[in-house]
C-alpha cells in the first residue's frame, strides 16, 4: 500500500472501573471523594458532574439536583483544576515530554502549539528528564496545579508512561501514545504504527527480498532503553514488522537495538553491512536510517543495488537524500492537534471529539529495489 493508503487510527478511551458509592466525607477506604465518586452516586458521567460544577446550561434541572445532592451527601470538594476552570483561570494546556528535539516529539509539540494558538490558549512544556521517582513526582506536582490547565502527556517512552501512571485522577489529562502503550484509564490517541510497519515490510518482501532485518527505536527495541527485546510486543513498529514476516513465512532475524543517536545507528549498520545475507532493512525511524545508510556506504554497499532501506516518520529532508528515502509518513502534528482538543474536552467536561488525523502512509522513493541476483 503506497502513499494515500487508508489505515485505521487507534483511539482508546477506556473508562476507569466505576467507584463504589461512599459515605459522607470519604470514599474508597477513607480517601477524599472524587468527581467519579459523585458521578457514580448520582448515576451520571463525570463529564456531567463537571458541567454542574461549572454551571453549564446544558444540564437538565433534575440532573443538576441529583448531582448537587450527591456532592452534599459525599462531602465532595472540587479539585483545584475544577475551581480554576470555573473562575476562568485555567486557559492553557501543559505538555509533558521527555524530549523536545527528536522529530516525533517536536512535531507533536508543534501540533499542540498550533491548536492552542488557534483557540487563544497558552501552552506550556514540562520536560521530565528521568524516570527516578523524585523527578516523576516533581513533574506530577507541577502539572497537578490548577494553573497548568489541561495536560497532554507524550507517552512515547517509559518516562512519559511513568508520569501518566502517577497523575492523580482529578487531573484532566490525555496521552499521545504508541499503540503498544498499556491502558492507563485515560483518553489515549495513537497512530496505527503496527499496520504501517507491516505494510513497509511487505513492500520489501514483494520486491523479492527473502527477509527483512530491523533496527528498532529505543522505546521498543532493547538494550539502549534498558530492557530486553520483547518478542511478544503487542503493538508498534517492531510488532508490525514481525507480523508481516510471519504472514509471509519468512525468516525472522534478531532485532538490532540502538539508541536515538546516529552513532549507535551507524554501529548497527556496520553489523548489518558485514553480513552478506542482508539485503533489506526496516529502520525504526529516519534518523536510524541515516546512520545505517552511512555505514553501508562506508562498507562499499550500494543502496538500493545491494541493500534496500525503509525508514519511518518521513522527516523533513528525507526526500532529498541520495538516494531519496522510502519511508512511512507519520502525522505527528495532527496527533498533537487531536490531543489538544481531547484535553480541552477533558478540562471542560465536554464531549470527546473524533480525532482528525491523516493515517500513516508508505512513501515510495529511491532507497528500495529488488535484491541483487545471485
pLDDT tens readout for residues 300-312:
999 999 999 999 9
Compute the average pLDDT of residues 186-194.
90
**This prediction's pTM:** 0.74
Q: Do residues 170 and 260 both lie within one domain?
A: no
9 contact partners, CB below 8 Å, separation of at least 6: 189, 190, 191, 192, 355, 357, 359
Please tell me the total count of domains within the chain. Answer: 2
User: 31 versus 50: which is more confidently predicted?
Assistant: 50
Q: Do residues 303 and 345 both lie within one domain?
A: no
Q: Do residues 186 and 335 both lie within one domain?
A: yes
Q: Do residues 171 and 298 both lie within one domain?
A: no
Instruction: Look at residue 144 and tell me if it is in a domain.
Output: yes
**Domain range holding 262?**
193-330
Q: How far is the CA of 269 from the CAs of 203, 213, 299, 373, in angstroms?
A: 21, 11, 9, 22
Q: How far is the CA of 31 from the CAs of 16, 19, 70, 123, 204, in angstroms?
A: 17, 12, 16, 32, 56
Using the predicted structure, report yes or no on whether residue 269 has a pLDDT greater than 50: yes
CB < 8 Å & 24+ apart, contacts of 256-259: 256/213, 256/214, 256/215, 256/216, 256/221, 257/215, 257/216, 257/218, 257/221, 257/222, 257/223, 257/224, 257/225, 257/229, 258/215, 258/216, 258/218, 258/221, 258/224, 258/284, 258/288, 258/291, 259/218, 259/224
Instruction: Look at residue 20 and tell me if it is in a domain.
Output: no
- Which CATH number goes with the domain that contains 271? 3.40.50.2300
Instruction: Look at residue 249 and tell me if it is in a domain.
Output: yes
Could you tell me the pLDDT band of residue 360, with boundaries at 50, 70 and 90? Answer: very high
Using the predicted structure, report yes or no on whether residue 21 has a pLDDT greater than 60: no
Q: Do residues 200 and 115 both lie within one domain?
A: no
Instruction: Look at residue 54 and tell me if it is in a domain.
Output: no
Q: Do residues 169 and 289 both lie within one domain?
A: no
Residues above pLDDT 70, as percent of the chain: 81
Instruction: Look at residue 199 and tell me if it is in a domain.
Output: yes
User: 373 versus 213: which is more confidently predicted?
Assistant: 213
Instruction: Look at residue 161 and tell me if it is in a domain.
Output: yes
Contact 305, 372 (CB under 8 A): yes
Residue 173: predicted pLDDT: 92
Instruction: Look at residue 226 and tell me if it is in a domain.
Output: yes
Torsion (CA) 360, 361, 366, 372 in degrees, nearest 10: 90
Q: Do residues 116 and 161 both lie within one domain?
A: yes
Task: State the CB neighbour count (10 A cutoff) for residue 271.
Answer: 15
Q: How far is the CA of 239 from the CAs of 20, 230, 324, in angstroms?
A: 38, 9, 26
Q: Do residues 226 and 173 both lie within one domain?
A: no
Torsion (CA) 266, 272, 276, 281 in degrees, nearest 10: -100
Nearest by Cα to 278 from 287, 268, 286: 268
Using the predicted structure, report yes or no on whether residue 106 has a pLDDT greater than 90: yes
Cα angle 372, 288, 291 (rounded to 5 degrees) comes to 70
Dist. CA 297–CA 5, nearest whole Å:
32
- Tell me, letter by letter, the H, E, C secondary structure of 71-124: HHHHCCCCCHHHHHHHCCCCCEEEEEECCCCCHHHHHHHHHHHHHHHHCCCEEE
250-261 confidence digits (pLDDT tens): 999 999 988 888
216-245 confidence digits (pLDDT tens): 988 775 444 333 344 444 458 999 999 999
Q: Do residues 222 and 278 both lie within one domain?
A: yes
Q: Do residues 258 and 321 both lie within one domain?
A: yes
User: 81 versus 349: which is more confidently predicted?
Assistant: 349
Q: Do residues 200 and 220 both lie within one domain?
A: yes
Instruction: Look at residue 213 and tell me if it is in a domain.
Output: yes
Residue 31: predicted pLDDT: 60
How many CA atoms, within 13 angstroms, populate the side-chain half-sphere of residue 239?
A: 16
Name the least confident of 9-13, 78-82, 281-285, 319-323: 9-13
Amino acid at each position: 500500500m503506497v502513499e494515500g493508503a487508508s489505515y485505521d487510527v487507534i483511539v482508546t478511551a477506556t473508562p476507569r472501573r466505576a467507584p463504589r458509592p461512599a459515605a459522607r466525607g470519604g470514599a474508597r477506604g477513607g480517601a477524599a471523594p472524587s468527581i467519579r465518586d459523585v458521578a457514580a452516586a448520582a448515576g451520571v458521567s463525570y463529564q456531567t458532574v463537571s458541567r454542574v460544577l461549572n454551571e453549564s446550561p446544558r444540564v437538565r434541572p433534575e440532573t443538576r439536583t441529583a448531582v448537587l445532592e450527591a456532592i452534599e451527601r459525599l462531602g465532595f470538594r472540587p479539585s483545584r483544576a475544577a475551581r480554576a476552570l470555573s473562575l476562568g483561570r485555567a486557559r492553557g494546556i501543559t505538555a509533558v515530554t521527555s524530549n523536545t528535539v527528536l522529530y516525533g516529539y517536536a512535531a507533536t509539540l508543534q501540533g499542540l502549539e498550533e491548536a492552542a494558538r488557534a483557540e487563544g490558549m497558552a501552552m506550556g512544556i514540562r520536560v521530565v528528564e528521568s524516570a527516578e521517582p523524585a523527578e516523576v513526582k516533581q513533574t506530577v506536582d507541577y502539572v497537578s496545579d490548577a494553573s497548568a490547565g489541561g495536560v497532554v502527556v507524550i507517552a512515547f517512552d517509559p518516562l512519559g508512561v511513568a508520569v501518566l501512571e502517577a497523575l492523580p485522577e482529578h487531573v484532566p489529562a490525555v496521552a499521545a501514545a504508541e499503540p503498544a502503550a498499556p491502558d492507563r484509564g485515560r483518553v489515549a490517541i495513537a497512530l496505527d504504527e503496527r499496520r504501517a510497519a507491516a505494510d513497509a515490510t511487505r513492500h520489501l518482501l514483494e520486491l523479492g527480498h527473502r527477509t527483512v532485518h530491523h533496527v528498532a527505536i529505543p522505546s521498543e527495541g532493547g538494550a539502549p532503553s534498558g530492557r530486553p527485546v520483547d518478542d511478544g510486543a503487542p503493538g508498534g513498529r517492531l510488532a508490525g514488522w514481525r507480523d508481516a514476516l510471519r504472514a509471509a513465512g519468512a525468516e525472522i532475524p534478531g532485532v538490532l537495538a540502538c539508541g536515538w543517536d546516529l552513532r549507535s545507528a551507524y554501529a548497527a549498520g556496520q553489523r548489518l553491512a558485514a553480513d552478506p545475507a542482508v539485503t533489506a532493512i526496516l529502520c525504526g525511524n529516519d534518523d536510524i536510517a541515516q546512520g545505517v545508510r552511512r555505514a553501508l556506504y562506508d562498507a562499499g554497499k550500494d543502496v538500493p543495488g545491494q541493500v534496500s532501506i525503509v525508514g519511518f516518520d518521513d522527516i523533513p529532508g528525507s526526500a532529498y537524500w541520495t538516494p531519496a528515502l522510502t519511508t512511512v509518513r507519520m502525522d505527528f502534528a495532527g496527533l498533537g492537534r487531536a490531543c489538544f482538543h481531547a484535553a480541552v474536552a477533558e478540562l471542560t467536561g465536554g464531549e470527546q471529539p473524533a480525532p482528525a488525523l491523516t493515517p500513516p502512509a508508505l512513501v515510495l522513493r529511491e532507497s528500495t529495489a529488488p535484491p541483487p541476483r545471485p
